[in-house]
Amino acid sequence: MRDDDETESVPEHGAGGPPRWSTTEERWAAVELTIQMAIDRGEFDNLPGAGKPIEGLGTTNDPDWWIRRKIQSEDLTGLAPPAFQLRKESAEVEETLDAMWHESDVREYLEEFNKRVRHARMQLLGGPPVVTPLRDIDDDVRAWRERKKASTAAIEPAHVEAPRRWWRRTPRATD
């Protein structure tokens, strides 16, 4: 073994630049030291989100997590691949249907939605796969009817007394 292999590597200072280390361990030690000094100075105190878990960490192994989070945080529409658009629309389909008043409109919307899902599955343009399931139109219409019935029953009063007719009113006592 040569003598210069056993010598400790000392950080070299360039012309005013940061020191350069020769081994990975020295780099890790320098990074840890810098972090510890920042902690001691209090630079990590009162950061937003301190003490809270990182949102979405470890839930799935999705390679497109960053674009999904960006689209959701900025409420972007029309920019995402069809797979993302259809998935988001499928999650919100009940609210969309509840805003409709006629069964024919509900059926037409669901048929159009299924048509767009089928079309997106046939595209070979790349991008994420379309995993949005087709909607069962009869089941969705049945659920829409039940939600409509429940919402109208909650709005209507249980018993309303009919107004009395003028000829059935009791005469006023005169003085």
Question: Residue 7 pLDDT > 60, yes or no?
Answer: no
User: What are the phi and psi torsion angles at 79 (to 5°)?
Assistant: -100, -25
Check residue 53 and give its pLDDT: 80
Q: Are 142 and 97 in contact (CB under 8 A)?
A: no
To the nearest whole percent, how much of the chain has pLDDT over 70?
A: 70
Number of C-beta neighbours around residue 71 at 10 A: 18
Q: Please provide the average confidence, as pLDDT, over all residues in the chain.
A: 79
Q: Could you tell me which residue, 127 or 112, shows the higher pLDDT?
A: 112
With vertex at residue 73, the alpha carbon angle to CA 63 and CA 129, rounded to the nearest 5 degrees, is: 35
Check residue 6 and give its pLDDT: 46
Average of per-residue pLDDT across 54-61? 69
Which of 49-58, 97-106, 160-169 is least confident? 160-169
In a 10 Å sphere around its CB, with 0-12 CB exposed, 13-18 middle and 19+ buried, how is residue 117 labelled?
buried
Q: Could you tell me which residue, 40 or 85, shows the higher pLDDT?
A: 40
Q: Are 133 and 89 in contact (CB under 8 A)?
A: no
